[in-house]
Amino acid sequence: MFLDEIAKRRTFGIISHPDAGKTTLTEKLLLFGGAIQEAGAVKSNKIKKGATSDFMEIERQRGISVATSVLAFYYKDKKINILDTPGHKDFAEDTFRTLTAVDSVIVVIDVAKGVEEQTKKLVEVCRMRSIPMIVFINKLDREGKDSFDLMDEVEQKLGLRVTPLTFPIGMGYDFQGIYNIWEKNVQLFQEENKQQKGTAIQYDDLTDPALETAIGTKALAILNEELELIDGVYSPFNQEEYLNGEQQPVFFGSALNNFGVQELLNCFVDIAPAPLKKQAEEREIDPTEKNFAGFVFKIHANMDPNHRDRLAFIKIVSGTFERNKPYLHVRHKKKLKFSSPNAFFAERKEIVEVSYPGDIVGLHDTGNFKIGDSLTSGENISFKGIPSFSPEHFRYINNADPMKAKQLNKGIDQLMDEGVAQLFTLQLNNRKIIGTVGALQFDVIQYRLEHEYGAKCSYENLNVHKACWVEAKDETNAEFADFKRVKQRFLAKDKQQQLVFLADSAFSLQMTQQKYPSVKFHFTSEF
């Protein structure tokens, strides 16, 4: 029973550059899974119904996803967990952390824009971790680049080795449908209502006269030529290579028109990996182990603004997670029980009795968790690779409403735990500084402080080049004491009370490193 449940799970993330259609694709997958009845049309950043996965108010206003949302549904007897990630580069840190919790990834590429900057960075992270990837080339009903040129671009710019499993018949104005190489059938596109014509028509043989009637002699001749070219150029799909991250299947479609999405989903449930082993610092953990182990990869304050609740999202790596059973919080070395673990459907939550490897569970948190924490049945395990990045933008944060100091402090405290940004307190005068990976984060923090905590803040610019975590070989030696004395204006403590050096320029950082060789400077907090 336990092993059957693991085999049913498929946990994956969707990544792309902003506007490639990631959230729309997520919606259409949910639609096929019967999880929603009607999709929210995301059009020109004015969200009409509001996409299901964008549930924070600020996301509805701006038309972008700023937090990873977790959605689950059943399809063909498989339980599918989707993590929809923000595409905007200012929220990349949230996406990098989410990639530690997925077993595979779908990369969405816009047919007109091709491979974009943000996609490169995210794919690099997946390549580094050998995460299996499927490429979905979206927006086929628009004029775009040639299919072969796009696949070349994906291979060259992303360093992938692709093989198409579906292929478009025409593109833009001439787009007629998709030839499904995986299932050997043709799906025709209905121009009038921009939808696919019911079920796929099975043409086992491309010389079938009915196919010629349906798409025309010229289109059929081109399709035959292109399929010959595919046979000659691309190696056939090999599931083992895909699972090892050495080959990437490509699908074509139009998520907005619901076209080519079902082909992607049907193939995905067949080939995508069930929950994989995860490397902890102590040892490798297999999902089939009886003992429970999991880690926190995301914290979200105020999922429901009426209740001020804070949820820690846990990816289950092995064993089963049961309601009301005590588990060890490894960092605090204490046992905790959870009476209402949640499973998700965007902001709709339901309490689950038991969860299996691959599942994502939300636990109500009163401040016990931080990102990267482990929960186990009793073993001391720490999971690797969930760092806090060195921020690139810094501002002083000031209280704009003295009557609300308590609300402001609470709000900052909780939002920093989410990993939205990092808080540094200067040792010299206790002023608070917020550091973020992207500038847009400051707006999000200001907005959420006001709307979720009733506190107002203002910012003041601050000239900091980099925040570096400080590690001294010997904290009692004279060199470290001299460093602290000379650089006291630039020293701060982070939320975990670790010492941080705020270098005002690359030059001053370099000089400091030369002058104090026994002091080490780290760019991530995980050292």
CATH number of the domain that residue 441 is part of:
3.30.70.3280
On whether both 366 and 417 belong to a single domain, the answer is no
Q: CB–CB of 352/361 below 8 Å?
A: yes
Confidence check: pLDDT of 387 > 80: no
Within a domain: 219: no
Task: Please give the pLDDT value at position 395.
Answer: 92
The parent domain of residue 289 ranges over 278-376
What percentage of the chain reaches a pLDDT higher than 90? 17
Q: What is the 3-state secondary structure (H, E, C) of 243-268?
A: HCCCCEEEEECECCCCECHHHHHHHH
Band (pLDDT 50/70/90 cuts) for residue 196 is very low
On whether both 357 and 458 belong to a single domain, the answer is no
Task: Please give the pLDDT value at position 205.
Answer: 66
Confidence check: pLDDT of 465 > 60: yes
Dihedral of alpha carbons 327, 329, 334, 337, sign: negative
On whether both 100 and 248 belong to a single domain, the answer is yes
> What average pLDDT does the structure give for the chain?
80
Confidence check: pLDDT of 248 > 90: yes
pTM of the model: 0.74
pLDDT in tens, 290-305: 999 999 888 776 555 5
Residue 312: which residues within 8 A CB-CB, separation 6 or more?
296, 298, 299, 362, 363, 365, 368, 369, 373
On whether both 266 and 290 belong to a single domain, the answer is no
| β partners of residue 14 | 84, 106
Within a domain: 425: yes
On whether both 262 and 290 belong to a single domain, the answer is no
Task: Please give the pLDDT value at position 308.
Answer: 58
Task: Please give the pLDDT value at position 416.
Answer: 79
On whether both 422 and 465 belong to a single domain, the answer is yes
CATH of residue 299:
2.40.30.10
pLDDT in tens, 64-73: 444 446 778 8
Within a domain: 207: no
Confidence check: pLDDT of 333 > 80: yes
Residue scoring higher pLDDT (213 or 95): 213
In angstroms and rounded to an integer, the radius of gyration of the C-alpha atoms of the chain is 25
Band (pLDDT 50/70/90 cuts) for residue 192 is low
Task: Please give the pLDDT value at position 348.
Answer: 63
Task: Please give the pLDDT value at position 2.
Answer: 86
Residue scoring higher pLDDT (201 or 395): 395
Residue scoring higher pLDDT (473 or 348): 473
| CA count, 13 A, side-chain hemisphere, 105 | 29
**Other CB atoms closer than 10 Å to residue 235's CB: what's the count?**
11
Domain count, the chain: 3
Highest mean pLDDT among 94-103, 322-331, 438-447: 322-331
Within a domain: 188: no
Distance CA 467, CA 471 (A): 13
Within a domain: 381: no
